[in-house]
Amino acid sequence: MDERSLESNREFKTHRSPVLSNSDNSILNGVRIHRKEENKMGGKTLRVVHYLNQFFGGIGGEDKAHAEPQIKIGPIGPGKAVQGAFGDQGKVVATIICGDNYFAERIEDATTEVMNLIKSQEPDVVIAGPAFDAGRYGIACGAVCKRAQSQLGIPAVTGMFVENPGVDLFRKDVYIIETESSARRMSDVISKMVNIACRLVAREKMGKPSFEGYFARGYLNNEVSDRIGAERVVSMLLAKLRGEPFQSEVPPPRYDRVKPASGLKDLHVATIALVTDGGLVPKGNPDRIQAREATRFGSYSFNDTDGLNPDDYEVNHVGYSPVFVLQDPHRLVPVDVMLDLEKEGVIGKLHKKFYSTAGAVCVVENIRTMGQAIAKELKDEGVSGVILTST
Amino acid sequence: MRLQLDILNIKDVQFGDGTRITDGVLYINRQELQEFLKEDKRLSRVDIELAHPGEKCRIIQASDAAEPRAKTKGGVDFPGALGKQGPVGQGNTCVLRGTAVVASEYRREGDPPMQPGFPRHGRIIDMSGPGAELSIYGKTHNIVLVPWPANEISVQEYRIALKIAELKTAVYLAKAGKDLKPDEIEVYELPAPSKIEKGLEHLPKVAYIFQFIPGQFETIPGYPVLYGSNASSIVPTILHPNEILDGAMVTPYRTMAIDVFGLQNHSIIKELYQRHGKDLCFAGVIITVGHGDERENERAAIMSANLAKWVLGADGVILTKSGGGIPEVPLALTAQRCEDLGVRTSVAITHYPADVGDADGSILFNAPEVDAIVSLGTPWNPITLPPVDRIIGEPAAFPEGPPVDGPIETTLRWMKGVLSQTGNSRLIAVRY
Amino acid sequence: MLTKELERAGLPTAHICALTPVAQMVGSNRIIPAASVLHPVGDPNRDPAAEKAFRRGIVERALRHLHD
């Protein structure tokens, strides 16, 4: 009979220290050169258009930042490195140069103007920058790449430093190679950009951000590790206790900050509106607000004598149990108390509609859009301040 | 406390004249089991079906699963939940490995769904195809119970009866193995912290803080969770890990990616046991509960951290949760309080961002000291399930919905046994 | 995150929220702790009159945050 006790029956797997990857402001070692011998593009030489600002395009410095978009034949400046990286597989047929200020002062229109020049070259790939730490340039590169993808359906790649505002604005839509803040290691960065472009053209599965060198674009995908989670979490703790380097499997989130609006000078004359993301809706959910990943909101009038009657409402929200709110909706949207405060003159007016959506499992983009729309409606209706109640 | 699991490896399960185990095959007297379960008058009917790995069979509305286990010496089965109170975590427990009891919920028209948008098929276990490959229950011989509620009882009463039926069945089946020689033995023995054997002083002391109730869902009064009673308002306390492995704890009605089966086979507890004396000293387990309000969460965080540092003497703790996004807040708070006391932390979580394109929403906290995070995967990855020949369970009585035996486009969230909040899975969510 | 868009548009917003760490993390500026996830401005354990007074207390706090 097999008698094994837990202490001795299983082999203890050797703990392997994960490779430390410092993604703050350094480029990873090991440039990944695309394999020239694997010509997966079917032998056709790719037509490449390169976008540069006035400085890298050789027109001038800040004095030329208002330069209008112009087109030049062949590669210019860093474009030569782009050509070198593509080798036989691609030809930089044209370079579009535009002043950073010209672009920044009219982003939509400038993007269109640049796109028209790009289109004229019938490219297979667009390379923009890299912009390193230059903010206006980064935004231009991101905008051009995003439009090239959506309008022409071709791969477009750029490169920026982590603090470049273009990163947060465009990394979900565009592959952005991570660079240092200064324009060092230009050919290194360009090699990585070209590598991504070739993979996109060949429709190969893209490697992980840390491997290929681009900023994570925001997609989560499950993969299968070699060890179960229990083993990984114990090993990670032991590494941390020993002072060994470890790599967290989940990086911290990034959220933008907004400057608060100025407060109300006088509550007695203010109109206050109630907004909730607790999913309180009239029975039947007439606006079909989704219980999760909501894209819709509603505004619902209420009686200024009776407030909210539990028989008239339901809750559509997956993240909490609505039992108590269903018994008395005022526990989520405090209409009763606000009506009293209005009667007593503490506030000028209570807006007689409350706004509602569901904040469960929310998509940042959707919440942003809804927030903007709600804000507009409230302002149009003369509201000056908001109380938002969340679960 | 010394617990010995006497394990029988079961190769097949069939219905037969008497409930017994012969040559590794579990035979079940279906009628006897049905009658036993129907002694609970909250149930009007109990269907029992078998599902084997490889069959083109789909179990729907799977609400929980348990491994057939029965105390043969030195304890009581699921104390408090099945009536008798008593000790667990020591003595001998017979285990039928390779099988699982699955409870499939019967939803009457008008019964509240667990949440809005609940699909007709509820949670699924497929016995073949991509679903089976990913799920632990695609590899076990499953004894599926489909109990029907008696007419007048409330849905809450039914949900209690459903869990009790599952636990009773787990015990009933394992009793068939009580006089047989085990195929394997596992021993779990851990003395009190003050009595840890000499020679281990140099090893780092690691404790586990287990948030076993998420606090974001309503509690069903009378639901047997800890030694047979509710535990949603308890303050953090210490349990011996064997109590969790041996039936003192039962999952509440609504959790995410934890079953009774997962508690009985708690991967993190087993991992700590396995490495005890080798590269760590297993200091013990603290159980805690997530709350809906901040004051309670702060209280629980401070108390958990104090227990870890000043009672268990931990150098480091592992933390997990048992719900979606909301419980990550008390989890992170607890971790921060531990770090404040110099107790280092690592955390293992499943991610519930908005969808797979919202990796930035994948964790609901941002504390610099909580920097050792292990990903247990995300439930939002899509999966396509093929059509099947056989369905076990009743689709929910909701309006539209494609046929539950046809091909199904869904996400891992609706699969049972794929993700695991106790770290049993190899899935890891990677950002692209 | 709704609060940020409202503030961005110039509407001062007081956020009554049970999970204040989340509100802080995503960048709400005027945060008032709610009673509970399950009843942000209520308390089923109190009798109705006391509960309403309790609710008023939280709302008044929120209004003070809106005031300059």
In chain A, which residues have their Cβ closer than 8 Å to the Cβ of C15? Answer: 388, 390
A48/A361 Cα distance (integer angstroms): 41
Q: Do B431 and A220 touch (CB under 8 A)?
A: yes
User: Are A134 and A42 contained in the same domain?
Assistant: yes
Q: Which residues of C touch A331 (CB under 8 A)?
A: 39-42, 44, 55
Note if the bond before A130 is cis, omega within 30 degrees. Answer: yes
Segment C49-60, tens digit of pLDDT:
999 999 999 999
**Among A172, A208, A230, whose Cβ lies nearest the Cβ of B267?**
A230
- Show residues of chain B in contact with A290, CB under 8 Å: 117
| Residue A5 amino acid letter | S
* Residue B284 pLDDT grade (very low, low, confident, very high; cuts 50, 70, 90): very high
The CA distance from B399 to B111, in Å, is 14
pLDDT in tens, B386-432: 999 999 999 887 656 788 898 999 999 999 999 999 999 999 998 88
Residues with Cβ < 8 Å from B6, sequence gap 6 or more? B72, B92, B93, B94, B95, B177, B182, B185
Q: How many CB atoms lie within 10 A of CB B239?
A: 18
| A-chain residues near C37 (CB < 8 A) | 320, 391
Distance CA B407, CA B387 (A): 4
- Chain B nearest-CA distance from C15, in A, is 15
- Claim to verify: residue A187 and residue A53 sit in the same structural domain: yes
Q: Does residue A49 sit within a domain?
A: yes
- What pLDDT score does A30 carry? 31
Q: Which residue has the tokens 């039926």?
A: B165
Distances (CA, A) of A179 to A188, A224, C44: 9, 30, 56
Of A6, A222, A291, Cβ closest to residue B381:
A222
Domain range for A280: 267-389
Q: Is A20 in the B-facing interface, judged by CB distances under 8 Å? A: no
Measured between CA atoms, the residue of chain C closest to residue A364 is: C1
Identify whether the C-beta of residue A137 lies closer than 8 Å to the C-beta of residue A100: yes
Residue at A300 is within a domain? yes
Residue partners of B152: CB distance under 8 A and separation at least 6: none
Q: What distances in angstroms separate CA B158 from CA B152, B155, B231, B397, one per listed residue?
A: 10, 5, 19, 16
- Chain C residues close to B216, C-beta within 8 Å: 37
Q: Convert the pLDDT of each residue in B110-142 to its tens digit.
A: 777 656 667 889 999 999 999 999 999 999 999
Sheet holding B237-239, edge to edge: B237-239, B281-289, B205-213, B316-320, B344-349, B373-375
With a CB cutoff of 8 Å and minimum separation 6, the contacts of B291 are B215, B297, B300, B330, C36
Measured between CB atoms, which of A275, A321, A337 is closest to C2? A275
CA–CA min distance A116, chain B (Å): 31
Closest CA to A110 of A133, A83, A128, A122: A128
**Tens of pLDDT, residues B247-267:** 999 999 988 899 999 999 999
Question: Where among A188, A204, A220 does a domain terminate?
Answer: A204
Within this chain, do residues A71 and A194 fall inside the same structural domain, yes or no? Answer: yes
- In chain A, whose CA is at the least distance from the CA of C16? A389
- Amino acid A322 reads P
Q: Can you state the angle between helices B155-175 and B30-37, rounded to 10 degrees? A: 140
**pLDDT score of B392:** 97
- Burial classification of residue B311, based on how many CB atoms lie within 10 Å of its CB (0-12 exposed, 13-18 middle, 19 or more buried): middle
Q: For residue A267, which of A354, A356, A372, A338 has the smallest C-alpha distance?
A: A338
Amino acid at A175: Y
Q: CA B135, B139, B145 angle in degrees (round to 5)?
A: 85
Q: Do B333 and C21 touch (CB under 8 A)?
A: yes
Give me the residues of A, 88-147, that contact C with CB < 8 A.
none
Tokens, residue A294? 């909501």
Q: What is the mean pLDDT of chain B?
A: 93
Chains that touch A (3 or more CB pairs under 8 A): B, C
Would strands A220-224 and B427-431 be described as parallel, antiparallel, or unpaired? antiparallel
Residues of chain B numbered 71-130 and touching chain C (CB < 8 Å): none
The pairing of beta strand B57-59 with beta strand B125-126: antiparallel
What's the pLDDT at B355?
63
The b-or-e profile of B317-341 (16+ CB within 10 A means b, else e) is: bbbbbbbbbbbbbbbbbbbbbbbee
**Residue A238 is assigned to a structural domain of this protein:** no
Q: What angle do CA A332, B253, B216 make, to 5 degrees?
A: 30
From chain A, pick out residues whose CB is under 8 angstroms from the CB of C44.
324, 327, 331
A280 and A184 assigned to the same domain: no
Residue B125 near residue B27, CB atoms below 8 Å:
no
Rounded-to-integer distance, Cα A44 and Cα A39, Å: 9
Nearest to B405 by CA among B64, B137, B106, B56: B56
**Which residues have a Cβ under 8 Å from the Cβ of A254 and sit 6 or more positions away?**
A168, B360
Q: At which residue do the structure tokens 């983009």 appear?
A: A365
Please give the tally of structural domains in chain C.
Answer: 1
How many A/C residue pairs have CB atoms within 8 Å? 177
Q: Tell me how long chain C is.
A: 68
Beta strand B12-15 with B25-28: parallel, antiparallel or unpaired?
A: parallel
Query: Count of H helices and E strands in chain A?
Result: 12, 13
- Tell whether the torsion through CA atoms of A186, A189, A192 and A193 is positive or negative: negative
Q: Lay out the sheet containing A125-132: strands in order across.
A: A70-73, A90-98, A46-53, A125-132, A156-161, A175-179
What integer pLDDT is reported at residue A224 of this predicted model? 94
Residue C36 Cα, gap to closest chain A Cα (Å): 7
Contact B216 C37 (CB under 8 A): yes
How large is the ipTM? 0.95
Residues 227-256 of A with CB under 8 A from C: 253, 255-256
Chains in contact with B, counting 3 or more C-beta pairs less than 8 Å apart as contact: A, C
H/E segment holding residue B8: strand B2-9
Question: Taking a contact as any Cβ pair under 8 Å apart, which residues of chain A between 264 and 283 contact chain C?
Answer: 264-265, 267, 270, 272, 275, 277-278
Residue at A57 is within a domain: yes
Q: Do C21 and B215 touch (CB under 8 A)?
A: no
- How many domains is chain A partitioned into structurally? 2
Chain A residues closer than 8 Å to C5 by CB: 367-368, 370-372, 374-375
Opening angle at CA B301, ends B298 and B305, nearest 5? 145
Higher-confidence position of A16 and B243 = B243
Q: Name the region of C46 (left: φ>0; alpha: ψ -120 to 50; beta: rest).
A: beta
pLDDT beneath 70, residues of chain A: 1-43, 252-257, 361-365
Cβ within 8 Å, pair C38-B329: no
CA atoms within 13 A on the CB side of B406: 5
CB-CB contact of A192 with A144 (8 Å): no
Question: Kind of pairing, strands A280-282 and C13-17?
Answer: unpaired
Q: What integer is the mean pLDDT of B314-319?
A: 97
Using only C-alpha atoms, what is the Rg of chain A?
A: 28
CA A60 to chain centre: 33
Residue of A nearest to B118 (CA): A318
Contact indicator for B105, B63 with CB cutoff of 8 Å? yes
**B360 → closest Cβ in A208, A246, A253:** A253
Residue-level pLDDT at A364:
65
Helix (H/G/I), strand (E/B), else coil: B414: helix
Chain C residues with beta carbon closer than 8 angstroms to that of B364: 19, 22, 25
Tell which of A152, A187, A204 closes a domain: A204
Q: What angle do CA B96, B98, B99 make, to 5 degrees?
A: 70
Q: Are A176 and A303 in the same domain?
A: no
Question: Do A95 and A192 belong to one domain?
Answer: yes
User: Could you give the CA distance from residue A288 to residue A88 in angstroms, rounded to a whole number?
Assistant: 56
- Which amino acid is it at B38? K
In this prediction, residue A227 carries a pLDDT of 96
- Assign B136 to helix, strand or coil: helix
Cβ–Cβ of C25/B326 closer than 8 Å?
Answer: no
The H or E element containing residue A179 is strand A175-179
From the list A255, A320, A332, the residue facing C25 with the nearest CB is A255
Same-domain check for residues A303 and A155 = no
Chain A closest-CA separation from residue B31 CA (Å): 35
Domain span including residue C36: 2-67
Encode pLDDT of B166-185 as tens digits.
999 999 999 999 999 999 99
Q: Which residues in chain C land under pLDDT 50? A: none
Asked if the C-beta of B335 comes within 8 angstroms of chain C's C-beta atoms, the answer is no
Co-location of A299 and A193 in the same domain: no
Asked if A275 and C6 come within 8 Å (Cβ–Cβ), the reply is yes
Return the number of other C-beta atoms located less than 10 Å from residue A382's C-beta. Answer: 10
* Mutation for testing the C interface, residue in B289, B294, B334 having most C CBs under 10 Å: B294
- Which one, of B260, B288, B295, B61, lies nearest residue B166 by Cα? B260
> Looking at the partner chain, which of C21, C22, C37 has a beta carbon nearest the beta carbon of B293?
C37
User: How far, in Å, CA of B208 to CA of B187, rounded?
Assistant: 20
In the 8-state DSSP scheme, what is residue B124?
Answer: B
CA gap B233, B226 in Å, rounded = 12
What one-character-per-residue DSSP string does A8-60 give?
Answer: HHSPPPPP-PPPP--TTT-PPSS-----TT--TTTTPPEEEEEEEETTTTTS-
CATH of the domain at A147: 3.40.50.2300
- CA angle at B358 for the pair B353 and B361, rounded to the nearest 5°: 45
Picking from C12, C19, C27, the nearest residue to A261 by CB comes out as C12
Nearest CA in chain C to B293: C36
The reply to whether residue A325 touches residue C34, judged by beta carbons under 8 angstroms, is no
Q: Which of A204, A222, A249 is the last residue of a domain?
A: A204
Q: Indicate if A195 and A299 belong to the same structural domain.
A: no
Interface touch B346/A2, C-beta < 8 Å? no
List the subunits that have 3+ CB pairs under 8 angstroms with C. A, B
* H-helix segments, chain A: 6-9, 79-86, 100-104, 107-119, 135-147, 165-170, 186-201, 209-212, 229-242, 323-327, 335-343, 364-380
